[in-house]
């Protein structure tokens, strides 16, 4: 009897184990179906949101009336490159339903989690010879700036349909040769589970489009479909909260680039999905400046910023107990720009966090800059830090103005006249040597800073001329430029100071104020093309790694610490001055 009981206990344990195993097996088999069901549900919800908001607009109604329709649907998430499906056919409803069926099949096949959904509807369709298409590529303003969708028109196989995001993110266009790269095209086709091709066709259909995007929070946006704005969300008006969100995201991105030793990850090539391996201590200092100026004042942020300052200081050398120089080469050289931006960064930290722990170091760097100044105000650009002998007299005017800005910043903290006098001596040298006709953003920074303390007509005149000489160029520029945008805002603050103080500056009488203010407004919108929105990033290999910060599209979607720094300062100053700019424009009109 005892043996029978023991036997039954053993059988019961095995039965329980078997039941658990069966349940787990069923769950394992069913899990993909459950996940895919949820993904399809999310897709349908997001498509419905886009339909509700935009499918009754005149633009979409005009598309629905077309005899031919081309529709693309893209789905994306932060971890994986977007999946895209397109259909070319007749009536709108049939094409739309077929496109939805195709994208759903790809979602199931790839167990693809959905955060974002984008719809592209063909606005115009034009067939052209391949040679003419290559001319269109050649006419773009720079790399990765071709912004239309295409269909490769094959006679003996299914056509290949590609939207702009696929073409650029996968480097299918070779901008160095102004043509499609067959190898890159086949790489992308293969990775997408599609049949490769042996040649490029003679004809291409070029498609302009209307586009709509639903993000991970179910916010729905119409995207621009004109010129270089194509592909990013349309903002009829840039609101303060829009700017604040962009700045906060970019600041957080920069914070996350700080490594344990205080050194930044220098940057990324988002197109190549690679880190940038070089390093530049001048740009390191500029990134500290941006963080100190924008980051929320908290103990955690303070400690992180201090680690970057400590790294900067570890790359410096004292000279005769009163001077300090940033080391910029293995040959123990120091350049003026590194010292200038290091001092600016430390001064910003002292001011923002109300902490003077680095004040003595700041003074030493300021003394070092003064030691690089000649009696006539000229600044030496590179020295040997062991004996202060000159190794290069001149490198770039940027160094001059960075150092001058730094001395003004240090005066603002210490109120020690020697720093302001030294800055003025250099500025007067620059003005005599025609710096005002160079259109330099750093010259605008220096002049804006010095006029906070000194009202000399020549400084205001130079500041206005520095803007005026570059204004037409900026107005007509077809690519983004963060430094141009910075210069405009620094120039505006100087312009505003003249008006606020009611100063009599003769140059103001011929200054094109309306054009200036209008260009600021126009570029504030256009410059958002340098912010990597999710609807643009979704086609990259790792969207979440690169989105929601500033980048340089024409350089392999480069995200470098100074790209973020310069862009942040432009929008920080625009946010602070937006209302004033609008008020001045209204009065002129």
pLDDT tens readout for residues 241-281 = 999 999 999 999 999 999 999 999 999 999 999 999 999 99
> What's residue 14's pLDDT?
61
> What's residue 19's pLDDT?
64
Close Cβ partners of 332 (under 8 Å, ≥ 6 residues apart): 317, 384, 385, 386
pLDDT above 80: residue 34: no
> What's residue 38's pLDDT?
93
Close Cβ partners of 463 (under 8 Å, ≥ 6 residues apart): 436, 444, 447, 448, 451, 491, 494, 495
Do residues 312 and 342 lie in contact, with contact meaning Cβ atoms separated by under 8 Å?
yes
> What's residue 31's pLDDT?
47
Q: Which domain holds residue 60?
A: 2-229
> Looking at the domain assignment, is residue 304 inside a domain?
no
* pLDDT mean over 39-54: 97
**pLDDT tens digit string along 65-78?**
999 999 999 999 99
Q: How confident is the model at residue 228 (pLDDT cuts 50, 70, 90)?
A: confident
pLDDT above 90: residue 178: yes
> Looking at the domain assignment, is residue 582 inside a domain?
no
Average of per-residue pLDDT values in the chain: 94
Q: How confident is the model at residue 565 (pLDDT cuts 50, 70, 90)?
A: very high
> Looking at the domain assignment, is residue 472 inside a domain?
no
**pLDDT tens digit string along 441-490?**
999 999 999 999 999 999 999 999 999 999 999 999 999 999 999 999 99
- Residue 321 token pair: 């107990």
**What does residue 390 show for φ and ψ, rounded to 5 degrees?**
-75, 130
* pLDDT mean over 521-531: 97
The residue among 453, 460, 455 whose CA lies nearest residue 413 is 453
Q: How confident is the model at residue 156 (pLDDT cuts 50, 70, 90)?
A: confident
* pLDDT mean over 368-377: 98
> Looking at the domain assignment, is residue 48 inside a domain?
yes
Close Cβ partners of 197 (under 8 Å, ≥ 6 residues apart): 152, 154, 157, 160, 182, 185, 186, 189
> Looking at the domain assignment, is residue 541 inside a domain?
no
Q: How confident is the model at residue 155 (pLDDT cuts 50, 70, 90)?
A: confident
Do residues 112 and 83 lie in contact, with contact meaning Cβ atoms separated by under 8 Å?
yes
> Looking at the domain assignment, is residue 454 inside a domain?
no
Alpha-carbon gap, residue 197 to 181, rounded angstroms: 12
Q: How confident is the model at residue 157 (pLDDT cuts 50, 70, 90)?
A: confident
The CA-atom distances, in angstroms, between 123 and each of 58, 126, 223, 252, 298 are 12, 10, 13, 38, 49
pLDDT above 90: residue 552: yes
Q: How many structural domains does the chain have?
A: 1
**Structure pTM?**
0.92
> Looking at the domain assignment, is residue 139 inside a domain?
yes
Instruction: Please tell me the chain's helix, strand, coil percentages from 3-state DSSP, rounded to the nearest 5.
Output: 55, 15, 30
Close Cβ partners of 500 (under 8 Å, ≥ 6 residues apart): none
> Looking at the domain assignment, is residue 396 inside a domain?
no
Alpha-carbon gap, residue 540 to 273, rounded angstroms: 8
């Amino acid at each position: 009897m005892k043996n029978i009981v023991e036997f039954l206990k053993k059988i019961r344990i095995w039965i329980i184990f078997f039941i658990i195993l069966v349940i787990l097996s069923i769950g394992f088999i069913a899990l993909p179906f459950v996940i895919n069901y949820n993904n399809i549900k999310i897709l349908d919800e997001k498509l419905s949101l886009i339909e509700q908001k935009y499918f009754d607009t005149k633009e979409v109604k005009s598309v629905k009336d077309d005899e031919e329709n081309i529709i693309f649907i893209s789905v994306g998430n932060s971890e994986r490159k977007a999946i895209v499906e397109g259909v070319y056919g007749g009536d709108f409803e049939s094409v739309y339903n077929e496109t939805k069926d195709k994208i759903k099949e790809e979602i199931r096949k790839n167990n693809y989690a959905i955060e974002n959904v984008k719809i592209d509807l063909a606005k115009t369709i034009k067939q052209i010879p391949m040679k003419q298409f290559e001319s269109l590529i050649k006419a773009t303003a720079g790399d990765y700036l071709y912004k239309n969708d295409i269909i490769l028109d094959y006679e003996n196989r299914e056509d290949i349909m590609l939207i702009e995001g696929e073409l650029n993110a996968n480097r299918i266009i070779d901008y160095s040769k102004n043509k499609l790269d067959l190898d890159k095209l086949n790489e992308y086709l293969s990775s997408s589970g599609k049949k490769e091709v042996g040649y490029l066709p003679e004809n291409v259909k070029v498609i302009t489009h209307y586009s709509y995007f639903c993000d991970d929070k179910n916010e729905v946006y119409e995207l621009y479909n004109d010129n270089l704005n194509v592909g990013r969300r349309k903002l009829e008006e840039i609101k303060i909260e829009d700017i604040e969100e962009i700045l906060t995201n970019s600041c957080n991105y920069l914070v996350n680039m700080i490594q344990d030793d205080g050194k930044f990850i220098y940057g990324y090539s988002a197109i190549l999905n690679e880190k940038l391996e070089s390093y530049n201590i001048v740009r390191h200092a500029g990134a500290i400046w941006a963080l100190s100026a924008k980051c929320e004042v908290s103990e955690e942020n303070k400690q992180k910023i201090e680690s970057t300052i400590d790294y900067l200081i570890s790359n410096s050398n004292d000279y005769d107990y009163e001077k300090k120089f940033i080391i910029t080469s293995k040959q123990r050289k120091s350049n003026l720009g590194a010292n200038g931006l290091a001092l600016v960064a430390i001064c910003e930290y002292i001011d923002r966090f109300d902490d003077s722990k680095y004040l003595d170091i700041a003074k030493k760097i300021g003394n070092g800059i003064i030691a690089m100044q000649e009696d006539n105000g000229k600044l030496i650009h590179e020295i040997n830090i062991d004996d202060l002998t000159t190794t290069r007299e001149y490198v770039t005017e940027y160094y001059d103005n960075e150092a001058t800005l730094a001395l003004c910043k240090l005066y603002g903290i210490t109120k020690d006249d020697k720093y302001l006098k030294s800055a003025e001596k250099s500025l007067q040298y620059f003005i005599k040597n025609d710096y005002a006709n160079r259109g330099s953003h750093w010259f605008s920074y220096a002049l804006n800073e010095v006029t906070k303390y000194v009202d000399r007509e020549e400084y205001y005149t130079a500041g206005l001329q520095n803007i005026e000489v570059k204004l037409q160029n900026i107005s007509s520029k077809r690519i983004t430029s963060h430094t141009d945008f910075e210069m405009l805002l620094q120039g505006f603050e100087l312009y505003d100071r003249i008006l606020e103080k009611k100063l009599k500056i003769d140059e103001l009488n011929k200054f094109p104020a309306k054009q200036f203010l209008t260009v600021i407004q126009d570029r504030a919108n256009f410059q958002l093309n340098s912010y990597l929105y999710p609807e643009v990033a979704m086609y990259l290999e790792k969207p979440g790694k690169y989105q929601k910060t500033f980048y340089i599209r024409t350089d392999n979607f480069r995200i470098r610490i100074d790209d973020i720094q310069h862009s942040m300062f432009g929008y920080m100053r625009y946010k602070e001055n937006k209302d004033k700019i609008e008020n001045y424009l209204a009065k002129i009109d």
